[in-house]
Amino acid sequence: MQHTKARVGESLKKKLKNKVMHVQYIRNIDRLLIGEEDTFLWLSKEDLKAETGSEIVAGQDQALQTRYYATKILSTETDSKCRLYQQFDETIDHTISASSILAKEQYIKRHDTVCAQLHFNICKGTEVQLDKKQ
C-alpha cells in the first residue's frame, strides 16, 4: 500500500512538473537541493488557517492573480508587464523582490515588520520581559 501511494505521488509530481505554472516552487527546491520534508514542515503545524496556507502555496507556485498569470495562463488580452513600471512581467517573484518602485518603501516596511516579529519571538523564547506598546 505504501509503495503504491509513493509511486502515485511521484507520478503526479512528474505530471505537474511538466506544466508551465504548476509546482514551480517544487521545481525550484529540487534545483536548489532543498529537502522537501523540511520545506513543507510548516504545513503540518497548526499555526496558520487553511486559507492562509493555501494562499502561500499559490504564491510559491506563481498562481496568484498577476498580469503575467492572466496573460499566460488565463489567455486574456491583458498586458503582462508590471502595472507600476511596465518594464518587467508582473510575476509573484517580481512583486515580492524585484520591483524597483516597491523597493523604495514597501520592502523596507516588510523588512522592519519581519525584524520586529523576530525580535518579539526571541524575547518571548528567552523570557525577556517586553514593555507594552504605548
Q: What is the mean pLDDT of residues 85-98?
A: 78
Question: Using 50, 70 and 90 to split pLDDT, how confident is the model at 95?
Answer: confident
Question: Using 50, 70 and 90 to split pLDDT, how confident is the model at 133?
Answer: low
Cα–Cα distance measured from residue 82 to residue 23, given in angstroms and rounded to the nearest whole number:
23
Q: What is the CA radius of gyration of the chain?
A: 19
Question: Using 50, 70 and 90 to split pLDDT, how confident is the model at 134?
Answer: very low
Question: Using 50, 70 and 90 to split pLDDT, how confident is the model at 93?
Answer: confident
Output the pTM of the full model: 0.46
Question: Using 50, 70 and 90 to split pLDDT, how confident is the model at 121?
Answer: confident
- Burial code of 89-107, b = ≥16 C-beta within 10 A, e = fewer? bbbbbbbeeebeebeeeee
